């Protein structure tokens, strides 16, 4: 039997109910949910010098505690992201 992996990515800096619902829905689409999160440097580059509010390790830990999430990986470049998706 083939396993269906579902991928969601973003910064997930300020976790809110919209994130929770997205992750629950994404998990319902397959057997395993993998969440990719941007490194702190990548978040800063896209959202400004005052972000992220929570560092990458804290964001990763928050997500790992959710029952809908099977694993969390970080990436700092588009190339790294592409490799994770293959």
| CATH 3.20.20.150, domain 5-85, yes or no | no
| Segment 47-72 mean pLDDT | 98
Burial class (CB in 10 A: 0-12, 13-18, 19+), 59: buried
Structure tokens at 58: 């804290």
Question: Predicted confidence band at 1 (pLDDT cuts at 50, 70, 90)?
Answer: confident
Condensed to tens digits (0 to 9), the pLDDT of residues 11-55 reads 999 999 999 999 999 999 999 999 999 999 999 999 999 999 999
pTM reported for the whole predicted model:
0.93
């Amino acid at each position: 039997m083939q396993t269906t992996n579902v991928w969601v990515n973003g910064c997930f800096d300020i976790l809110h109910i919209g994130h929770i619902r997205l992750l629950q829905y994404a998990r319902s689409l397959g057997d395993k949910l993998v969440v990719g999160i941007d490194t702190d440097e990548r978040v800063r580059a896209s959202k400004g010098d005052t972000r992220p509010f929570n560092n990458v390790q804290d964001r990763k830990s928050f997500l790992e505690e959710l029952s809908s999430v099977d694993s969390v990986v970080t990436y700092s470049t588009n190339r790294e992201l592409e490799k994770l998706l293959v």
